[in-house]
């Protein structure tokens, strides 16, 4: 009987699945697996410089290829370093298979009471139990194929998410004959997150489709809200047909902003706390809201559920019953279904379409009245009179130079907010970020995973603060000469935090800019150190001359854009003073900067919220 | 009643404890705490650029100041980013108090079944339960003083280690009157790691001291082995007296290599898998071995317990009974005691001293016969004839320029192994590293914590591979203009892994050097980008001219040392071929490169091990 090492079966599995790239860093704890994969010669291991980046890159690799992506971690810190990426994948429903090495299996028992397992190991799977769909430690060489097969299947199954398997060093090297391998156990895909759920309110696919059609039949101002769950279900190709057949004003979540052409006549944008003003009016005036594959996160629905789409009956289609129930009675129609199956079924069942031309016209009025870039995005000057380009307005210039198949990844802060507020995304273009964990540092590895997965150019929107958390990955980009264009918005520190501190602490900053204890390096010099060409944009003339050049370069580029260190993130749902001096959080449609109350009254077909009525808008009206 | 915010009580607590510095990054989840500390104005927050660095810096800050150090993490990724440092602190028994922010307390219940708590939170304390001494989530504003006081006390209590408390954003901001605060609960300092231990074999302090004295009275070749537990017990000032009064040949663990002057006549160095050859002969020929405050890790005792100090009765004094029992019957005298109390008591009880001049002379013979730098550390040339300085030999040049109060931190790989093999440390000098987790990237934040804690210069020994994992912290160093001299050994990738791959895979490299998929940047250019002066050492002439200059500069410096990309790490306990062709792991005294068998026979007073007898040393003898 021919025997192969456990590591060889892992390498074989990657080949069988057609996985062309995995991400990781070699160490004593995974050297066997690296060797087996390299010897087999099918899968390329992309060696990053911090394991967090390996996991983050795997999430965008998946998004571009549809392949569950694999991460190779070593024992000890090699695996702890992967935790941030795993939590990010968990929150964003990204199927990632993490394979960690560990010490000799005589140490890797959950009963081992020592602080250290072997030389530098610990119970890695226990640590991530709460933030993964499944963990397993391969303790028998014969079980390798079973465990990796199940892990892969569990990661891929709805609701997708990361899985983590741990393989002791000696097990990796252990020989097994093909005949000796244990059979792959059949899957029990019961999601522990469904346990303990009261399903009495939840509708199934049949009843859900019927209820939605009944709701739409009587709605005057229906709205569709689409999310990443549609892509996770592989149903993105049905979106245009769905939207057009229903004829409804449609909103998209940030994670799904590339699922419908931003210029589609029925696409009314992205609503939320940092939403587009027009989109929020569409949302908040709806009388029925059909949410498919979007988890209605707080940044989408705001802080007070009683104010969210308060005139609407809300239907929510999701594969995770916990998500369906989290907003309680606010979701009148919680429908437990795969987003794709729901859309297919809905398309089959739609008979006539109850078009509402007046409502669509009204939505178009919102869109025309409140373009995504407005006077609140005018350039600002600092005390010395230096003028800074506004990051929102900058996006409109940037998108002129987009390729038809442009991929964009964003880090957090200015990159995230300006990008998702302004950038129009066409079908064929992609915009990828971390919307759940929202970890600073996602931008660079996100771009790496996307560039390698799609084998094409990526525009990475980043910020001075966020660049630092995966700075070392510039070398990974350089090593592979990946065509990644990095735009760095330089705003002297952590701008979102500065705004928080300004609002909460009477303007006292701490740890958020140069004066309060944090600086970032000169990124043009950093670019030079890594051998990356670099540019600086300080004016609109710079932008118009440099951006085409940036887009025309093959290989990596860094382009720093200097923005005002206090530039507001607007529009935004902000705390506001009322006429009596008290501070309130207005309803989701009443974004700051506040608009005149008369305009609000005109826009709010459902009537002005009482809180909006009493806001102090003396600077506005 | 005057009310203060929960965050103010946290800031007050830091003041009461006299904590001058804490480490962290501000975020929405900890902004209240940052503000409270900054307003109070006593404690400085050192803002790093990745939370892993905050925790690592806290460990060396503690080592230099004796103050339990505090880390401030924000919600979400801010806290996952801290995990690697926490595991490192856990394994190395470093008291670190981690305070993480989290989402609004209405989300932060362990019963919350959603993948995301609030906007971007998760159950951070659950994740680190297995790698901390204690975790707690502050859910009642009134309990803040109680929880933080207990956390601090638990971290400080033996066996020291990290604790983690989580405070929801709204709780941080909640007002409480001093009168409303709950009293501090009395501590139940039962270490969960002692649970389930069979104490029948374990001796207490009284019996342990007596047993050790009885053992020493009949020993001919006694040896003392000292570890970090002595410093953790605050007993480092007793070490010289102990050694001299006992008159025993003394070994030190890596973590305690600065506890006894390396030039003390009774200091015989550092034994282990990567140990000094003379030290290993001392250890392996002992007939009694008294280990105090050292956990006898695998890198110290080797892979086969039956071969470790096999002629010796072994006494082990440790505060953690699990550690006492982990080597089973090999430890004849497991003594559960604080290392300091044990030493004090031993000093009181010692009557006459049973000096063994012949044994000490023999140990001196080992030391003279096997200096730490030998012919195995001669320079090597590459194929093109370029000669590289050897990193071990380099240490001997480097230490000539040490200040009397020199602090050294090391990263892993070449920095760790060459540094701990060669560098002599005087009393007043310190050498700090991560010996448990051994995480790449420790060097830079370790240097930051030490430089700030001691308020003086630090020499950071680093490598090209390890620099990358905390590269961003160069900016923290520059921001504070910390006097950190960074020596980077450039050996084209991960040299330890290359040696592993050479040994295991017939020389096939994967992901460990330029040709196999990993490169590092030009660190002189990186230095320039950060505005740090830089030097390059390629020859001994360079070393002699540049090192004094490096040491004379105020503020940060980077000095890159180019070493042979295949330089061996020797001496080392390595797998060796026997005469019959089979591969064995020799006993701990038989380090590679192998020495002639006649010399081995002369050195091994206890007789040559059978395995040593049959090794193929045809290239040697």
Q: What's the pLDDT at B364? A: 98
Q: Residue A79 — pLDDT band, cuts 50, 70, 90?
A: very high
pLDDT at A335 over 80: yes
* Torsion sign over Cα A106, A107, A108, A110: positive
Question: What is the residue whose two structure tokens read 């060889």?
Answer: A8
Provide, as residue numbers in chain B, all residues whose Cβ is less than 8 Å from the Cβ of A522.
Answer: 529, 531
Q: In whole angstroms, how far apart are CA B287 and each of B207, B221, B318, B606?
A: 20, 5, 20, 9
Alpha-carbon span A459 to A10, nearest angstrom: 33
Q: What's the pLDDT at B191? A: 53
DSSP string, A412-436: STHHHHHHHHH----BTBEEE---S
The string of pLDDT tens digits covering residues B400-456 is 999 999 999 999 999 999 999 999 999 999 999 999 999 999 999 999 999 999 999
Task: Give residue A399's Cα distance to chain centre.
Answer: 20
Q: What's the pLDDT at A578? A: 86
Percent of chain A whose predicted confidence (pLDDT) is above 70: 99
Kindly identify which residue of chain A lies nearest to residue B507, measuring between CA atoms. A35
The partner residues of B175 in beta bridges, in order of sequence, read: B5
Q: What's the pLDDT at A580? A: 87
pLDDT, average across residues A248-264: 98
ipTM above 0.95, yes or no: yes
Q: In whole angstroms, how far apart are CA A273 and each of A366, B115, B271, B423?
A: 17, 20, 61, 58
pLDDT, average across residues A587-594: 97
pLDDT, average across residues A529-543: 98
Provide, as residue numbers in chain B, all residues whose Cβ is less than 8 Å from the Cβ of A496.
Answer: 28
Pairing of strands B380-381, B387-388: antiparallel
How many residues are given for chain A? Answer: 621
| Contact with chain A for residue B24, Cβ under 8 A | yes
Q: Looking at CA atoms only, how far is residue A526 from chain B in angstroms?
A: 5
| Contact with chain B for residue A130, Cβ under 8 A | yes
Question: Taking a C-beta distance cutoff of 8 angstroms, is the pair A406, A429 a contact?
Answer: yes
The partner residues of B166 in beta bridges, in order of sequence, read: B100, B137
pLDDT at B242 over 60: yes
Alpha-carbon span A160 to A157, nearest angstrom: 5
Kindly identify which residue of chain A lies nearest to residue B133, measuring between CA atoms. A115
pTM for the full predicted model? 0.98
Alpha-carbon span B165 to B136, nearest angstrom: 5
Task: Give residue B505's Cα distance to chain centre.
Answer: 30
Contact A468 B472 (CB under 8 A): yes
Top residue of A84, A107, A199 to mutate, by most chain B CBs within 10 Å, is: A84
Q: Is B74 helix (H, G, I), strand (E, B) or coil?
A: coil
pLDDT at A534 over 80: yes
The string of pLDDT tens digits covering residues B552-565 is 999 999 999 999 99
Q: What's the pLDDT at B193? A: 52
Q: What's the pLDDT at B612? A: 96
- The strands making up A21-24's β-sheet, listed across from edge to edge, are A44-47, A21-24, A69-73, A96-102, A163-168, A134-138
Q: Looking at CA atoms only, how far is residue B86 from chain A in angstroms?
A: 9
Q: Residue A191 — pLDDT band, cuts 50, 70, 90?
A: low
The string of pLDDT tens digits covering residues B138-155 is 999 999 999 999 999 999
Whether a cis peptide bond, with omega within 30° of 0, leads into A571 is yes
pLDDT at A196 over 90: no
Average pLDDT, chain B: 96
pLDDT, average across residues B88-117: 97
Contact A120 B436 (CB under 8 A): yes
pLDDT, average across residues A296-310: 97
Top residue of B7, B21, B24, B26 to mutate, by most chain A CBs within 10 Å, is: B26
The string of pLDDT tens digits covering residues B207-233 is 999 999 999 999 999 999 999 999 999
Q: Residue A224 — pLDDT band, cuts 50, 70, 90?
A: very high
The string of pLDDT tens digits covering residues B478-518 is 999 999 999 999 999 999 999 999 999 999 999 999 999 99
Nearest one of B485, B503, B487 to B413, comparing CA atoms: B487
Output the 3-class SS for A508-546: CCCCCCHHHCCCCCCHHHHHHHCCCCEEEECCHHHHHHH
Contact B322 A478 (CB under 8 A): no
Q: What's the pLDDT at A195? A: 62
Q: Which of A28, A116, A173 sits opposite B497 (nearest CB)?
A: A28
Q: Looking at CA atoms only, how far is residue A368 from chain B in angstroms?
A: 31
Q: Looking at CA atoms only, how far is residue A469 from chain B in angstroms?
A: 6
The string of pLDDT tens digits covering residues A460-478 is 999 999 999 999 999 999 9
Contact A77 B83 (CB under 8 A): no
How many residues are given for chain B? Answer: 621
Question: Taking a C-beta distance cutoff of 8 angstroms, is the pair B322, B296 a contact?
Answer: no
Contact A26 B50 (CB under 8 A): no
Q: Which of A77, A128, A326 sits opposite B439 (nearest CB)?
A: A77
Top residue of B114, B120, B502 to mutate, by most chain A CBs within 10 Å, is: B120
């Amino acid at each position: 009987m021919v025997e192969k090492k456990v590591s060889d079966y892992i390498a074989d599995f990657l080949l069988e699945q057609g996985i062309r790239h995995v991400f990781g860093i070699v160490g004593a704890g995974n050297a066997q697996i690296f060797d087996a994969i390299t010897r087999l010669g099918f899968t390329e291991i992309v060696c990053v410089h911090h394991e967090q980046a390996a996991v983050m890159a795997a999430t965008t690799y998946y998004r571009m290829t549809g392949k569950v992506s694999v991460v190779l971690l070593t024992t000890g810190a090699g695996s702890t370093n992967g935790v941030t990426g795993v939590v990010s994948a968990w929150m964003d429903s990204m199927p990632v298979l993490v394979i960690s090495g560990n010490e000799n299996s005589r140490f890797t028992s959950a009963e081992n009471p020592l602080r250290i397992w072997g030389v530098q190991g610990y119970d890695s799977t226990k640590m991530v139990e709460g933030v993964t769909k499944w963990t397993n430690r391969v303790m028998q060489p014969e079980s390798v194929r079973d465990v990796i097969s199940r892990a892969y299947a569990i990661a891929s199954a709805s609701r997708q998410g990361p899985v983590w398997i741990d393989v002791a060093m000696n097990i990796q090297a252990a020989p097994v004959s093909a005949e000796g391998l244990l059979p792959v156990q059949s899957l029990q895909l019961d999601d522990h997150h469904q346990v303990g759920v009261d399903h009495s309110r939840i509708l199934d696919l049949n009843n859900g489709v019927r209820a939605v059609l009944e709701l739409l039949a009587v709605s005057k101002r229906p709205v569709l809200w689409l999310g990443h769950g549609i892509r996770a279900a592989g149903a993105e190709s049905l979106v245009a047909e769905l939207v057009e057949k229903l004829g409804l004003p449609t909103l998209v979540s940030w994670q799904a902003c590339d699922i419908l052409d931003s210029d589609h006549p029925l696409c009314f944008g992205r609503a939320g706390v940092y939403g587009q003003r027009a989109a929020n009016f569409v949302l908040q005036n709806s009388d029925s809201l059909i949410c498919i594959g979007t988890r209605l996160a707080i940044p989408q629905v705001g802080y007070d559920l009683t104010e969210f789409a308060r005139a609407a009956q809300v239907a929510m289609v999701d594969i995770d019953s916990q998500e369906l129930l989290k907003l309680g009675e606010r979701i009148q129609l919680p429908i437990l279904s795969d987003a794709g199956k729901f859309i297919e079924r809905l398309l089959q069942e739609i008979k006539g379409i109850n078009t509402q031309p007046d409502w669509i016209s009204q939505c178009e009025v919102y869109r025309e009245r409140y373009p995504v870039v407005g006077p609140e995005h005018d350039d600002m000057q600092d005390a010395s009179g230096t003028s800074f380009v506004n990051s929102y307005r900058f996006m409109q210039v940037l998108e002129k130079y987009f390729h038809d198949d442009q991929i964009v990844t964003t880090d957090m802060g200015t990159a995230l907010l300006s990008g998702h507020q302004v950038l129009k995304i066409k079908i064929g273009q992609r915009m990828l970020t971390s919307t759940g964990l929202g970890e600073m540092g996602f931008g660079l590895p996100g771009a790496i995973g996307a560039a390698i997965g799609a084998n094409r150019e990526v525009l990475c929107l980043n910020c001075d603060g966020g660049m630092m958390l995966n700075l070392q990955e510039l070398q990974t980009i350089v090593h592979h000469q990946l065509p990644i264009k990095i735009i760095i918005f330089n705003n002297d520190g952590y701008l979102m935090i500065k705004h928080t501190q300004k609002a909460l602490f009477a303007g006292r900053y701490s740890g958020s800019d140069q004066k309060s204890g944090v600086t970032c390096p000169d990124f043009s010099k950093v670019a030079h150190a890594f051998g990356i060409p670099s540019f600086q944009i300080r004016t609109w003339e710079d932008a118009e001359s440099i951006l085409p050049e940036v887009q025309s370069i093959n290989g990596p580029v860094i382009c720093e854009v200097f923005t005002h260190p206090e530039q507001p993130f607007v529009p935004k749902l902000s705390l506001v003073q009322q006429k009596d001096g008290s501070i309130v959080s207005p309803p989701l449609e009443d974004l700051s900067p506040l608009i005149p109350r008369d305009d609000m009254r005109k826009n709010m077909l459902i009537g002005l919220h009482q809180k909006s009525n009493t806001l102090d808008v003396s600077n506005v009206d």
